[in-house]
Amino acid sequence: MIAMEFTSQYIHLVEGSASGNNVTVKNTLSVPVPERSVRNGQVQNYEDILRVLESVFMEQNYKKPQIAFSLDSTAIKTKHMELPYETKEKALLFMRHELGELIADETYIIDYVIHKIFRKGKAQYMECTAYAIPRDLLKEYSNLCKGLEAKLKIMDILGDVVAKQLELQYPKLQYKGAIEVKPKKKSQPKKKGKKKDIEEEESLEDVEEDTKTLQLEEFYDKGTLKLWVGIYDEKMKLFTNGIDGKIFSRTIMLEGLSNTEAETQGEAEREQILTYIEEIKKFLQFQEDIAPDTPIQSIEMFGEHPRLAEICEFTSQLAERKSSIIQKPKQIKGVSPAEYAKYMGAIGCLLRRA
């Protein structure tokens, strides 16, 4: 299977397979995308992206492979829910009603991932994350598969992709859902002078068919709380177990990271790194405001930034938290720790909830 993660800078491809909780990576590859071809997880220049992927498939001799996509966009709405463990049809009806405040029309597809099945008295309940996903976003990726003559196996959500891998490393973790943060625009300095419905819709059902029953356990004593940070060019992905022992996620969209007044590329990169660290410090403070008795003790990072190790060092100093590259679960083989940090967003598509 070929798993892909699309960012504003690259398409990250992972060729691999999974058996149970074990993933074997055969090959990894990152391909630059034309400028502004992918924005906020949405393909905006289909023809150029298709040509890029056709070239890669020809070079790698991929012939009609199965494809898994890792999707991430602030256009995807999420909500954590507990509801009776019913048929899929009943569950989706309930979720559409509950998500009504987030979606106002039929342009979204409702889907969900079950994290835990438990009993209340004689009744059976499920804890899950519901997703409202724009149809147009899904159709973009579905069309890419058609253009590549590949089989669309699954579309996964990046938040759950990351959570599945954190659950491997820390088995008592449970994914609770997302905290929505709207994109923010960086203020610019003033300048002087001149002024058919998706045919592959069934493939999404693969997601919720994978369920995981977890024991009801308290997680993590004080002193073992973590923050996991994904570093990308246009966004940051933050995950923590520091609120109630379950994984909460947050997306921070960062526009105009580069300092427009920077005279050199080095100065622009430094400004970008400092912005990452400042956002991390804000999140640490946010968590401490919610749970002052349980501050986050350490940070692990992943993502595509070429200076990720340096960002960890600077974060340790400026945020006063031990920071390191994310740990690779022992169940994931065939990839180095550094490669794992870069390709984590695609690797998790190969992993299925048992």
Q: Is the pLDDT of residue 127 over 90?
A: no
- pLDDT grade, residue 193 (50/70/90)? very low
Calculate mean pLDDT across residues 52-73: 94
In a domain, 29, yes or no: yes
How far is Cα of residue 31 from the mean position of the Cα atoms in its chain?
A: 19
What is the pLDDT at residue 302? Answer: 97
Burial category of 263 from C-beta neighbours within 10 Å (exposed 0-12, middle 13-18, buried 19 and up): exposed
Q: Is the pLDDT of residue 226 over 70?
A: yes
The residue segments making up the domain with residue 84 are 2-187+200-348
Gap between the Cα atoms of 100 and 342, Å rounded: 36
Question: What does DSSP assign to residue 210?
Answer: -
Question: What does DSSP assign to residue 171?
Answer: T
Tell me the angle at which helices 135-148 and 46-60 cross, rounded to the nearest 10 degrees: 40
What is the pLDDT at residue 291? Answer: 79
Calculate mean pLDDT across residues 88-93: 88
- pLDDT grade, residue 120 (50/70/90)? confident
- AA identity, residue 12: H
What is the pLDDT at residue 197? Answer: 41
Q: Is the pLDDT of residue 216 over 70?
A: no
**Containing H/E element for 225?**
none
What is the pLDDT at residue 202? Answer: 36
What are the CA-CA distances from residue 3 to residues 11, 31, 181, 232 (Å)? 10, 13, 27, 18
Calculate mean pLDDT across residues 172-187: 53
Q: What pLDDT digit, counting tens, does each position of 314-330 carry?
A: 999 999 999 999 999 99
What is the domain count for the chain?
A: 1
What are the CA-CA distances from residue 337 to residues 17, 240, 333, 342 (Å)? 18, 21, 10, 9
In a domain, 111, yes or no: yes
Q: Between these two residues, 314 and 248, which has the higher pLDDT value?
A: 314
Which alpha helices (H) appear in the chain, and where do they start and end?
46-60, 88-98, 135-148, 158-169, 205-209, 265-290, 308-318, 337-347
Q: What are 259's two structure tokens?
A: 């300092």
What are the CA-CA distances from residue 239 to residues 87, 160, 163, 174, 186 (Å)? 30, 11, 8, 12, 23
In a domain, 354, yes or no: no
Burial category of 1 from C-beta neighbours within 10 Å (exposed 0-12, middle 13-18, buried 19 and up): middle
Q: How many CB atoms lie within 10 A of CB 58?
A: 10
Give strand pairing partners of 324. 300
Quote the mean pLDDT of the chain: 82
- AA identity, residue 240: T
Phi and psi at 182, nearest 5°, equal -70, 150
What are the CA-CA distances from residue 132 to residues 82, 97, 174, 175, 330 (Å)? 16, 11, 21, 17, 33
Q: Is the pLDDT of residue 101 over 80?
A: no
What are the CA-CA distances from residue 56 to residues 29, 64, 86 (Å)? 9, 13, 43
Gap between the Cα atoms of 181 and 22, Å rounded: 33
Q: Is the pLDDT of residue 282 over 70?
A: yes
User: What CATH number is associated with residue 274?
Assistant: 3.30.420.380
Torsion angle, CA of 4/8/10/14, rounded to 10 degrees? -20
The set of residues, in sequence order, having a beta carbon less than 8 Å from that of 32 and lying 6+ positions away, is 9, 10
- Backbone Cα Rg of the chain: 20
In a domain, 334, yes or no: yes
Calculate mean pLDDT across residues 81-91: 88
In a domain, 246, yes or no: yes
283: nearest Cα among 232, 231, 238, 315: 238
In a domain, 273, yes or no: yes
In a domain, 267, yes or no: yes
In a domain, 193, yes or no: no
Question: For residues 1 and 19, is the Cβ–Cβ distance under 8 A?
Answer: no
Pairing of strands 22-32, 38-39: unpaired
